[in-house]
Structure 1
Amino acid sequence: MLSALFPLIYGIILMALLWQAFRVMGKGFRAVSEPTDRTGRITVHPELLDSDGQITREDLLTIRFSGDDENQTEISGPRTE
């Protein structure tokens, strides 16, 4: 008896999981197509703001890791041999 119910239970669980997966993927696709964030406003990282609450005009330190597709310039410092 249990062996006859197993394929039915398995099928029901599989269909439920597939339905849930498609729902989650649909939410992801909708989120990508929206140009703004969930608040409807552009979010600025707090470290980019100066003491007056404005975006800073200072030069910012950036780090590039090897393997980036952009042209890489080699920065060399004093060599000690």
Structure 2
Amino acid sequence: MMEDGGLRPTPIQAYVMLSSLFPLLYGLIFLALLWQAFKVMGRGFSAAGRPLNASASRNDRTGKVTIHPELLDGEGRLTEENLLTVRFSDDDEGEPADRSGE
């Protein structure tokens, strides 16, 4: 059996070294995840204390109402065309639909 000067640990020494390192590594990862959980919960608790409109008004950079692009004509103005609408209630308001194509 050749002796290499003790630079290379025996399998038992490697096992002991890894088994003593595992709890330390486990603890560090646990603390990092715990810290992250408290940060996320803190953000949630601070958001729960604010009114719902506070974040929406901060994000509005223009102060204008955003219009869906399909409601604009080629020149950027609101379209004058009749729009297709769908109602899911039993309201009898408005004109009946044209069913001449049926």
TM-score for both structures, normalised by structure 2: 0.40
Larger RCO (CA within 8 A; separation ≥ 6): 1
- Asked which structure has the greater CA Rg, the reply is 2
TM-score for both structures, normalised by structure 1: 0.47
